[in-house]
A and B are shown apart, each in its own frame.
Chain A
Amino acid sequence: MTEEVIIAGFGGQGVLSLGKILAYSAIMQGQEVSWMPSYGPEMRGGTANVTVILSDEKINSPILNEFDTVIILNQPSMVKFEKEVKPGGILIFDPNGIHNPPTRTDIKIYTIEGVKEATKLKNTKTFNMIIMGAYLKVKPILELDNVHKGLEKSLPTRHHHLIPKNIEAIQIGMEKVKPYEVSQAHLLN
C-alpha cells in the first residue's frame, strides 16, 4: 500500500502539523513515510502545503505531481491542486472560503465543514484534527490507536493533556464528512 497525499491551505491552519501527525501515526504502524513541506515566507496568512507519503515500501521521490488524495483548505489551493488528483482519486475540501468549488467528475469529492465544527467546539486549534478525521473516514489507512500514539510522539509532553480533545475532534470529522456531487455547487454558501 502506498498513499500519496497533499494537504494545502493557509499558514496557521495547522497544515504542516497535520502532515506531521499523519507521518508519525504511520511510523507507529511500521510504515515508511516522507514529509515534504512548502517552506519559506508562508507563515500565517500565506499559502502552505505539505506532501506526505505513507507506504509499506521504501519511498523514492518525496516530490510528486499527482496524488491519491488532495485535501484543500483554501481557494488558492483549489486552483492549484484540484487538477493534481489522480483520476479515480479523492479530493476533500472545507467549503469555508471556497468560491469556486471543484468541477471534476472523474474523482471522488467530499466536504468537511472544519472551520464551522471547530468554532462550535470553541477551539479553532482543533481544526486540523477535524480535517484528519474526515480524511481517515474516507481513507481508513491508519488505526485510531496508532493516531493516538502518533499524537503522543509529535506533541511535546506539556501538550499531552490535549490529546483527548484532539481525538474528539478526529471523531467529529469522521461523523461530519459528506460526499459531494459537482452538481451541488449552487448549494454551497
Chain B
Amino acid sequence: MEEVHLMKGNEALAEATIRTGVDAYFGYPITPQSEVLEYLMNEQPHLRTGMAVLQAESELAAINMVYGAAACGKKAITSSSGPGISLKAEAISYIAGAELPCLIVNVVRGGAGLGTIQPSQSDYFQAVKGGGHGDYKLIVLAPASVQEMADFVDLGFKLAFKYRTPAFILSDGVIGQMMEKVILPPQQERLTDAQVDELYGDWATLGKKKNKPRNVITSLALKPEIQEEHNHHLQRKYAEITKNETRFEKINCDDANYLIVAYGASARISQKAITLAKEKGLKVGILRPITLWPFPTEAIQEMAKQVKGILAVEMSAGQMVEDVRLAVNGKVPVEHYGRFGGMIHSPTEVCNAVFEKLVNC
C-alpha cells in the first residue's frame, strides 16, 4: 500500500527530487521556499542516491551550476522566490538559448523589489513572458496542491528532456507552506554515466570521442542568418510543445453560466468560492490552467461560447487576465479580481467579486 505523508509543499517537492533520480540541486535560501534546501540538507540525499545538494554563494552561482550540470546531460534543479528568480533570469535565457533541460522552481512571494515574504502570484509575467531576454519560452507548470508539488518534479524533468528546454514550476507561498496528504512518487535510480551517454550523447558535453566531432553547448551565434535559423528552430519546438503539452482542469464547468480562470492557490480558494456562489443560486465553473505556458487558450475559447462572463482570479494586479482576454477576444466580458502584495483573497471575497464584476454590473 502507498504510504500517506503529511508534508509541506516545499518538503514534498524536495523529497520528490530525490525520488525522481535528480543528480543535483543548487540553491540559495529565501522565504517562502527555504524548506526545499533545508529538507534536502537534512535528508543527505548523497547517502540515498548520490544526489548532490549545494548551497551556492548566490542565486547567480546556483543557476549557473544548473547550466553546467545540464550541459553534461545531468538532471539539475534550482529553486527560489521572486527576487532570486530575477537574479537567475540571465542564465535562464542562456539555458533556453542553449537548449538545455533543467527544472527551476519559484515559490512566489509579494513584490516588487524585496517586497514581502507572504504569498503572491505576481511573477506570472516573469515566468510566462520571459524574465530573461530574447525570444524564448519556458514550460511553466502551476501546482495547486502538495501532491502536485511532488508530481510536477517528474513531469517537469520529463518535458524538459523530451524537448531539451528548461521547465519551470510556478508555485506560491500558500502551496509551498501548507501541509496536506501526499503520496510520494516511487524511487527512481539516477542514470549512470553510460546511460546518460546513450540517451543524450548526441548533444551533452561528455568529452570528445575519437570517432565523433566535439559536442558544443552555446547560446552564441554571431551571424544573424544562423541566429535567425536557430530562433526558427526554437519557435518550431515551442509550437510542438503548444500542440502536445497544454494541460488544464475543468471544475463544475458542464452547466456553468459564469467561469473563473485561476491557477495555484487561487484555484483552491475559488473552489470554495463557487460552492458559496452555488448557495446563492449561481452556477460558476473553474478552468484551472495546469500549464501557464503553453496556455489553455482553446479551452478558454470554448468556454467563452457557453458562459456570460469570465473572472480571472490571481494574487496579482492582473497578469494572467491578459492571456484570458487574448483567448476570449472580446466575445464575453473578462474581469480581474485579486488581492496582492502578500495579501490572500478569501473565498467570500472571490464569491463577492463574481457577483460585483460579472453578475450585477
Q: Which of A7-53 contact B (CB under 8 A)?
A: 20, 23-24, 27, 32-37, 39-41
B283 lies within 8 A of chain A by Cβ? no
Contact A35 B6 (CB under 8 A): yes
- Whole-angstrom distance between the Cβ of A2 and the nearest chain B Cβ: 11
Q: Could you list 8 further interchain pairs (A-B, Cβ under 8 angstroms) beyond the known A33-B6, A61-B273, A65-B346? A: A27-B4, A32-B181, A33-B181, A39-B31, A60-B269, A60-B271, A63-B347, A65-B349
A24's nearest neighbour on chain B, judged by CB, is: B6
- In the bound complex, CA of A40 to CA of B30 (Å): 11
Counting from the closest, the 9 A-B pairs by CB-CB distance are A60-B271, A65-B346, A61-B272, A35-B179, A36-B178, A61-B269, A60-B272, A34-B180, A62-B178
Contact A65 B348 (CB under 8 A): yes
B76 lies within 8 A of chain A by Cβ? no
Q: Which residues of B contact A154 (CB under 8 A)?
A: 6
Q: Which of B3-40 contact A (CB under 8 A)?
A: 4, 6, 31-32
Q: Which residues of A contact B275 (CB under 8 A)?
A: 60
Q: Which residues of B contact A65 (CB under 8 A)?
A: 346-349
Contact A34 B178 (CB under 8 A): yes
A162 lies within 8 A of chain B by Cβ? no
B265 lies within 8 A of chain A by Cβ? yes
A-B contact pairs, 28 of them (CB 8 A): A20-B179, A23-B6, A24-B6, A32-B180, A32-B181, A33-B6, A33-B179, A34-B179, A34-B180, A35-B178, A36-B177, A36-B178, A39-B117, A39-B177, A40-B31, A40-B117, A41-B117, A60-B269, A60-B271, A61-B347, A62-B268, A63-B174, A63-B344, A63-B346, A63-B347, A64-B272, A65-B349, A153-B6
- In the bound complex, CA of A141 to CA of B359 (Å): 39
Q: Which residues of A contact B6 (CB under 8 A)?
A: 20, 23-24, 27, 33, 35, 153-154
Q: Which residues of B contact A153 (CB under 8 A)?
A: 6
B118 lies within 8 A of chain A by Cβ? yes
A40's nearest neighbour on chain B, judged by CB, is: B117
Contact A39 B32 (CB under 8 A): yes
Q: Which residues of A contact B347 (CB under 8 A)?
A: 61, 63-65
- In the bound complex, CA of A37 to CA of B179 (Å): 9
Number of A residues, CB within 8 Å of B: 23
Q: Which residues of B contact A61 (CB under 8 A)?
A: 268-273, 347
Whether A33 touches B180, Cβ cut-off 8 Å, given contacts A60-B268, A63-B265, A63-B344, is yes
Q: Which residues of chain B have a CB within 8 Å of any CB of chain A? A: 4, 6, 31-32, 117-118, 173-174, 177-181, 265, 268-273, 275, 344-349
- In the bound complex, CA of A39 to CA of B117 (Å): 8
Total contacts A-B at CB 8 Å: 72
* Contact indicator per residue, chain A 146-173, by CB within 8 Å of chain B (1) or not (0): 0000000110000000000000000000
- Whole-angstrom distance between the Cβ of A42 and the nearest chain B Cβ: 11
Q: Which residues of A contact B181 (CB under 8 A)?
A: 27, 32-33
A142 lies within 8 A of chain B by Cβ? no
A182 lies within 8 A of chain B by Cβ? no
- In the bound complex, CA of A73 to CA of B173 (Å): 25
A79 lies within 8 A of chain B by Cβ? no
A59 lies within 8 A of chain B by Cβ? yes
Q: Which of A50-105 contact B (CB under 8 A)?
A: 59-66
- Whole-angstrom distance between the Cβ of A21 and the nearest chain B Cβ: 11
Query: Which of B178, B268, B346 has the most A CB atoms < 10 Å from its CB?
Result: B178
Q: Which residues of B contact A39 (CB under 8 A)?
A: 31-32, 117, 173, 177
- In the bound complex, CA of A57 to CA of B63 (Å): 41
Q: Which residues of B contact A60 (CB under 8 A)?
A: 268-269, 271-272, 275
Q: Which residues of B contact A33 (CB under 8 A)?
A: 6, 179-181
- In the bound complex, CA of A36 to CA of B146 (Å): 12
Query: Which of A36, A40, A62 has the most B CB atoms < 10 Å from its CB?
Result: A62
- Whole-angstrom distance between the Cβ of A60 and the nearest chain B Cβ: 3
- In the bound complex, CA of A20 to CA of B8 (Å): 11
- Whole-angstrom distance between the Cβ of A39 and the nearest chain B Cβ: 5
